[in-house]
Amino acid sequence: MDSQNQYCVARPIYSTRAFEHANERQVRETKSFKEKLKNSCRLSPKLPMMIVKKFFPIFNWLPIYQLRLWLPGDIVAGITTGMVCALQGLAYSLLVGVGPIYGLFAAFFPILPYFILGTSRHLSVGPFPVTCLMQGAVVFSLAPDEMFMYAGNTTDNGTAPMVLNVTARDSQRLSIAATMTVLIGLFQFGMGVAQVGFLVRYLSDPLVGGFTTAAAFHVVVSQLKLIFNVPTNNYNGILSFFYTIGDIFKNIKQTNMVDLLAAVLTIIVVMGVKEINAKYQHKLPVPIPIEVIVTIIDSGVSYALDLSTRYNAGIVRIIPRGFIPPRQPDVSLFSSFGGPSFSTAVVSYAIAISVAKVYAAKHDLTVDGNQELIAFGISNIFCGCFSGFVATTALSRTAIQESTGGKTQVASIISALMVLIVIVALGPLLQPLQKSVLGAIVVSNLKGMFMQVHDVPILWRKNKTDCIIWVFTFTACIFLGLDVGLLAGVVFELGTVVIRTQFPSCATLGNVPSTDIYKNMKDYKNITEFPGTKIFKCTAPIYFANIEYLKDQIKNKVGFDAVRVFKKRNKALKKIHRLIKKGTLKVTENGLVPVAPLGVDNEAFESERDPGQVEGGSQKEVEDGARSATEVEVQVDWSSTLPDGVTVPKVDIHSFVMDFSAVSFLDVMAAKSLKLIIKEFIRIGVNVYIAGCDDEIVMKMESMGFFDEMVNRGMLFLTVHDAILYIKMETGSEIADGSDVFAEKISQLQDEKALPYTEDEDFIETYDNQRLAIHGLSS
Amino acid sequence: MDSQNQYCVARPIYSTRAFEHANERQVRETKSFKEKLKNSCRLSPKLPMMIVKKFFPIFNWLPIYQLRLWLPGDIVAGITTGMVCALQGLAYSLLVGVGPIYGLFAAFFPILPYFILGTSRHLSVGPFPVTCLMQGAVVFSLAPDEMFMYAGNTTDNGTAPMVLNVTARDSQRLSIAATMTVLIGLFQFGMGVAQVGFLVRYLSDPLVGGFTTAAAFHVVVSQLKLIFNVPTNNYNGILSFFYTIGDIFKNIKQTNMVDLLAAVLTIIVVMGVKEINAKYQHKLPVPIPIEVIVTIIDSGVSYALDLSTRYNAGIVRIIPRGFIPPRQPDVSLFSSFGGPSFSTAVVSYAIAISVAKVYAAKHDLTVDGNQELIAFGISNIFCGCFSGFVATTALSRTAIQESTGGKTQVASIISALMVLIVIVALGPLLQPLQKSVLGAIVVSNLKGMFMQVHDVPILWRKNKTDCIIWVFTFTACIFLGLDVGLLAGVVFELGTVVIRTQFPSCATLGNVPSTDIYKNMKDYKNITEFPGTKIFKCTAPIYFANIEYLKDQIKNKVGFDAVRVFKKRNKALKKIHRLIKKGTLKVTENGLVPVAPLGVDNEAFESERDPGQVEGGSQKEVEDGARSATEVEVQVDWSSTLPDGVTVPKVDIHSFVMDFSAVSFLDVMAAKSLKLIIKEFIRIGVNVYIAGCDDEIVMKMESMGFFDEMVNRGMLFLTVHDAILYIKMETGSEIADGSDVFAEKISQLQDEKALPYTEDEDFIETYDNQRLAIHGLSS
């Protein structure tokens, strides 16, 4: 067992080049676009049927519909859901700002196209408070009350009070809502055709969490007006949330106590019974339809006591019977709500697809994101033409439909029939219903959305960034309104992805003795660096936003700035040459030997210019020095003791290994900068190795012209250990901790490779002028 | 040598847990914020000086100024640059839409604060066409000619022609330009104080390339009006580029031939001489100041021939002498150009810092990004108060200053003195200068920006994404205008970063025989998969945007869907139980044995429901089946032959290894989904191992609650090879290519681990109901 539990490997050291030499590469098949098209269009006898099934998913399940098994469940589910659907339609119409009958339309029409086109079998299609509110924001801002005021009859004191033209206002609002619904549908349909359903993935869980919680707050504030039955102005955009609250408090004295009482009672009863429903979920055959019961009771009480006349309660008042004919959307309005329509389209789709996926996973079915976009698109266009408003789904409603036994969209059709009955027959019976009760029902349905606040501390513990996304989106949505807030949230979220890669964690690695394992030096106690080498690991893609940071990190980890070292060495060389010329320094077999005690003779030189302040020295002077000294060729061993007054930064490494195993991509800027970094190291005699680079990235590097004579594929190694072994082999030294022999070896290695270089032609020239020493006393 | 060129490792197999057991971890020092603050505030005698030097970088170089060495160069450079500066100021004022004298102010004032506050020693601070144009766009849109028309005196035929109130217009334009400059300064100063200079890194090279090239086109179009001296309307925003061109062509018949001729001559001469300057750069002591020469000649000719009166040429006309007193910016205007000001602030800083960095690198100096922001901020505020416009730098001007010997900002001060001379003395002499000549000078300075078009094909070859960023930014800037285009470009660019990680390259890895190397199966010929295992590598961070894609990729690479397999197996179990109940199947030592030929007895079963269409089967039915069968316990070997009519998807692996070495971060959604994926695999008896995960990511996973009883740290291995060796050890089999013995082992391993599981509690319940077999005929 013990011998089995061993990791034993004996193989050649592999540079990428050596590896590819030993192992034959396979040419990847790259099918041309034409071939791909041909393959996908290959005719088969089943093709027409497949196409039909793809675009009309109903044919996937209707032909195998099992009447005996599925129909009973579908009927029960359909009836239960239908009641909820109708009631939610009525209630949510208040959010959109149109008459309650249109809420019933919104609960009825979208189901029909979805029945044929939708891929989810459990989704209960219909209105959802968040999307209704987003539509309402547009409706109220484009058709505020103020637009429909006209001077009424002159009163006794000679002034004409302003009167609201309710008919004109409601007709305009309806037109806006219906047209916007069509536009939303067009957006969704277009996105479906363009197959960009994947874009919805940008709406991550924390983002959606923050958004829907903020939406719940907005919904409550919008319903407070109805619950208290106080007048408020219509605010929109930035800070409208707070202005509305301000208005409610300003007018709180006008509260209608009957409406408030009914609303509070409704909230208590509905939320209480919902608790019971949840608790006894498994014991109840169907959940108690408490909203329906409350509605019926309130309608009865309101009618019996004539609350409207006697207590001035706000009631629904008019629910006409039957349908209105379809009408053309007012295309001229499109431009005035393009942005909000797009965000509503995205949100409504995002909600629907996430709910659909939950139930698809549960029942081992699949939903097709793009087909869903098309289905919702057509449903909304259809619904908009029949004066409905935007359709998506609600998790709660779909949960009811599924838990009461709904198997297919047949349940939805039956629920639509229920709504139809209300539309054509029962509507007028609901006319005495108090609006505050409807508002209270809306509010009581938001519990789940509010409960998401509990996610925040959990998220904070799990991942700060995700928590910040949640809070940012929430705050943005509260302050800026839902559509702008959502956009801000998405931009912020994408920003965090960039930021996360912009400051990657960089580490210096060390070897775990007698293994091939390299770990962060900071993390383990018993790990060692091979003398004269530095291993640097970057855990991120390298691209324009983080290349500067990476440069700083490299400087930081190696402990010197390669460019600066090069400059300093050139300056020192110049100085040495001057000393040689002056005769104060001599070139011998042992290196540079001072002829006279430097301390004396150097005074004159030092007074000329303070060696401590050589930065920014005159270019001309440097060049002069360079030219005058070119006749003498000196090889300076930079790690040996230099003459007094000549100082260069210490470079204590001869090899620099970059572990690229966690680099997932490079862009052009990164490739350019990396190449320069490598050349700067080579120029001062430090060899650079790249280890663990993914084959695909090597290919990318090649196509970006990363490799040339100096930066060549020979520096690529399969693993860090391969590179280190190679370095060991090259230095010919077995771990000889900083011994003199080793230091000599290092400097020798450095000197052999040292040469001036830079990308910029201008630089090359300067360096060439300054370059003094190539040959001479090589040891 | 041969024995040296060997990679030999013998060590225990390390799971992360085993490794951490063997190697002591070091506790990382985490300094608290308080400590950090304390450290950074530690008093030292040098501290006050350091602070002064940090905020007033002039003290870094002025005390060590080497008069004899540096001053001559600074003087030559200052005079040369000063002439160019003055002239460019004059010319660029036309882009901003203010009088030429203000261009001189813009070339003079910003230099003074920068002298004290700037960290670059070579930057020639002053106007730049792109930023001037961006400011001009705002000026022209907020104060168009139309705003200042009034009805003039009634003419003979009784109509009053509209007359332009030039004084009012120019005063308003000046006020807008100066106020905007102050706002730009405030933005820059604020960003500097907030230390967010790093944000400028989002302006990557391709983006800036596309942007400046588009800007060059915009500048040319804006100057065509002057060159042809034809009237155009002021357009702004979307498509204004094309409207302006349209206007020019419409009025092309009104071209003033004298102006056009002068402009064309200027362009030819200036560009020609600039070629010569570039070619004989090293032979000429200073470049020929051709623009200055052309300007002087044209002023002379225009004055002598009285071009303005005789040929109606457009001349500069008024250049007052001297300064105007500083004035307060019109704060009420701030809100009307907040957005454009911000983008201009960013662009002007981005240009300056990139040029500064080039020269800092060349001279081994450093520039401090945030201090530069502060310096430019104060320069612009100062300049704006003195009626100048926005300051940045121009590469060409700075190049002149540096190449003619400029060593420090003393050169800039001397150039400012030159501009001062023009302001107080020479200005009026330039009054007869033709505007078209100034326009032509602007155009001839754009060659470098236009030449960037050549980058496009190079970029395309190097990296398609970067090329697309270039083209997108260019197109957006042409069509949408510079500020909106830049924003669009940045958003697009950040989008590409997300997209690049959204569809990461995923690969199945195989082992290079007798090594520890694992490579993409598609890339090499002689690599093998260890039977029953799949190694999956993902080269990207895993987060909300790509987790779904990753799931699909995993399904794709392993060849089955774990959830589906589980469901199918449960269904099959139910069926087997029914068969056992019916007596057609018997449980024996050899597994399941049919009692009667299944073909006969099964007919009835099959007619009841087509086994090919079991998808979406009745939930109730499944549960019924499950309940009725719980009394019998059967262990099914899924890889053995199953009874007829019972089919489950084939799972041919027992171990799934995920190589996480290239995963740079995980977010909460990814952790959640990954956990679910792992559990789904474990549920169907496939062991999951994670290899090469960075320590930091392991820590992140822990804090996100990734590990529990089922998904535990025992599945983490240091390398893929460690995991594979562990798997080999566990299976106790040495590579036994798919032999029967091995297959048995696989199924045994799978069965031992197989258990139903899911994240969702609802699911667990369902599965628990369906779960039939735990014990029984275990082999």
Q: Which of residues 113-142 of B touch A (CB under 8 A)?
A: 121
- B669: contact with A, CB 8 A cutoff: yes
Give the mutation candidate from A23, A469, A701 for the B interface (greatest B CB count, under 10 A): A23
**Does the predicted interface ipTM exceed a cut of 0.85?**
no
The answer to whether B258 and B307 have CB atoms below 8 angstroms apart is yes
Residue A498: its chain B contacts at CB < 8 A?
Answer: 202, 494, 497-498
What pLDDT, on a 0 to 100 scale, did the predictor assign at position B73? 87
Residue A28: its chain B contacts at CB < 8 A?
Answer: 522-523
Residue B461: its chain A contacts at CB < 8 A?
Answer: 703
Chain-chain contact of B523 with A25 (C-beta, under 8 angstroms): yes
A28 to chain B, closest Cα gap in Å: 7
Give the length of chain A.
779
A762 to chain B, closest Cα gap in Å: 9
B10 to chain A, closest Cα gap in Å: 4
**Residues A568-607: b if buried by 16+ CB within 10 A, e if exposed:** bbbbbbbbbbebbeeebbebeeebbeeeeebeebbeebee
Distance separating alpha carbons of residues B525 and B393, to the nearest angstrom: 56
- A4: contact with B, CB 8 A cutoff: yes
Distance separating alpha carbons of residues A731 and A504, to the nearest angstrom: 32
Q: Which two tokens stand for residue A219?
A: 């919904």
Q: Which of B13-17, B157-161, B657-661 has the highest mean pLDDT?
A: B657-661
Sign of the alpha-carbon dihedral angle for A577, A582, A587, A591 = negative
The answer to whether B217 and B481 have CB atoms below 8 angstroms apart is no
**Nearest-10 Cα torsion for A254, A258, A259, A263:** 130
DSSP state of B195: T
What pLDDT, on a 0 to 100 scale, did the predictor assign at position A468? 92
What pLDDT, on a 0 to 100 scale, did the predictor assign at position B589? 58
DSSP state of A4: T
| Nearest of B534, B779, B493 to residue B651 by alpha carbon | B534
Distance separating alpha carbons of residues B468 and B481, to the nearest angstrom: 19
- B403: contact with A, CB 8 A cutoff: no
- B312: contact with A, CB 8 A cutoff: no
Higher pLDDT, A601 or A493: A493
What single string gives the DSSP state of each residue in A527-584?
-BPPTTEEEEEE-S-B-TTTHHHHHHHHHHHHTS-HHHHHHHHHHHHHHHHHHHHHTS
CB contacts < 8 A (A, B): 311
Residues with Cβ within 8 Å of B640's Cβ and at least 6 positions away in sequence, in order, are: B591, B747
Q: Which two tokens stand for residue B779?
A: 């082999």
pLDDT value at B403 more than 90: no
The answer to whether A245 and A478 have CB atoms below 8 angstroms apart is no
Distance separating alpha carbons of residues B543 and B667, to the nearest angstrom: 5
Q: Which of residues 749-768 of A touch B (CB under 8 A)?
A: 760, 762-763, 766
Chain-chain contact of B497 with A502 (C-beta, under 8 angstroms): no
Chain-chain contact of B694 with A502 (C-beta, under 8 angstroms): no
Q: What is the pLDDT of residues A262-313, one digit of tens each?
A: 999 999 998 899 888 888 877 877 778 888 888 889 989 988 888 888 888 8
Across B729-733, average pLDDT: 72
B69 to chain A, closest Cα gap in Å: 7
Q: Is the pTM of this model over 0.80?
A: no
The answer to whether A732 and A585 have CB atoms below 8 angstroms apart is no
Nearest-by-Cβ selection for A517 from B4, B5, B718: B718
What pLDDT, on a 0 to 100 scale, did the predictor assign at position A184? 94
pLDDT band at B767 (very low <50, low <70, confident <90, very high): very low
pLDDT value at B534 more than 60: yes
pLDDT value at B769 more than 50: no
Higher pLDDT, B26 or B426: B426
Average model confidence (pLDDT) for chain B? 79
pLDDT value at A3 more than 70: no
Q: Which residue of A has its CA nearest to B67?
A: A618
Distance separating alpha carbons of residues B461 and B473, to the nearest angstrom: 18
A668 to chain B, closest Cα gap in Å: 6
What pLDDT, on a 0 to 100 scale, did the predictor assign at position A378? 94
B521 to chain A, closest Cα gap in Å: 9
Nearest-by-Cβ selection for B494 from A64, A494, A563: A494
The DSSP bridge pattern shows strands B392-393 and B125-126 to be antiparallel
B307 to chain A, closest Cα gap in Å: 45
Task: Tell me the residue type at A329.
Answer: P
Helix axes B166-193 and B369-385, enclosed angle (nearest 10): 160
Chain-chain contact of B718 with A466 (C-beta, under 8 angstroms): no
Across A552-558, average pLDDT: 89
Q: What is the pLDDT of residues B91-136, one digit of tens each?
A: 888 889 888 889 889 999 999 999 999 988 888 999 988 899 889 8
Residue B15, classed as helix, strand or coil, is strand
Average model confidence (pLDDT) for chain A? 79
Across A762-776, average pLDDT: 32
**Lowest-pLDDT range, A101-115, A541-555, A621-635, B478-492?**
A621-635
Share of chain A above pLDDT 90, in %: 12
Distance separating alpha carbons of residues B58 and B144, to the nearest angstrom: 42
Chain-chain contact of B548 with A198 (C-beta, under 8 angstroms): yes
Distance separating alpha carbons of residues B600 and B598, to the nearest angstrom: 5
Share of chain B above pLDDT 90, in %: 11
Give the mutation candidate from A20, A281, A403, A462 for the B interface (greatest B CB count, under 10 A): A462
Q: What is the pLDDT of residues B199-215, one digit of tens each?
A: 777 888 888 889 889 98
- Cα–chain center distance at B572: 52
Residue A669: its chain B contacts at CB < 8 A?
Answer: 204-206, 466
What pLDDT, on a 0 to 100 scale, did the predictor assign at position A37? 65
Distances (CA, A) of B119 to A145, A615, B108, B114: 59, 14, 19, 8
What pLDDT, on a 0 to 100 scale, did the predictor assign at position B595? 56
What single string gives the DSSP state of each residue in B206-229?
HHHHHHHHHHHHHHHHHHHHHHHT
What pLDDT, on a 0 to 100 scale, did the predictor assign at position A41? 59
Higher pLDDT, B444 or A32: B444
Q: How many CB atoms lie within 10 A of CB B17?
A: 14
Q: How many CB atoms lie within 10 A of CB A98?
A: 28
pLDDT band at A253 (very low <50, low <70, confident <90, very high): confident
The answer to whether A597 and A585 have CB atoms below 8 angstroms apart is no
Nearest-by-Cβ selection for A524 from B9, B23, B516: B23
Residues with Cβ within 8 Å of A572's Cβ and at least 6 positions away in sequence, in order, are: A636, A642, A646, A647, A648
Chain-chain contact of B121 with A616 (C-beta, under 8 angstroms): yes
What pLDDT, on a 0 to 100 scale, did the predictor assign at position B201? 78
pLDDT band at A535 (very low <50, low <70, confident <90, very high): very high
Q: What is the pLDDT of residues A670-703, one digit of tens each?
A: 888 899 889 889 888 888 999 888 888 888 888 8
Taking every pair of C-alpha atoms in chain A, what is the biggest distance, in angstroms? 120
Q: Which two tokens stand for residue A720?
A: 């860090």
In the block, tokens 């949960």 appear at: A399
pLDDT value at B161 more than 50: yes
What pLDDT, on a 0 to 100 scale, did the predictor assign at position A187? 93
Q: How many CB atoms lie within 10 A of CB B3?
A: 6
pLDDT value at A244 more than 90: no
Across A458-486, average pLDDT: 88
Task: Tell me the residue type at A526.
Answer: N
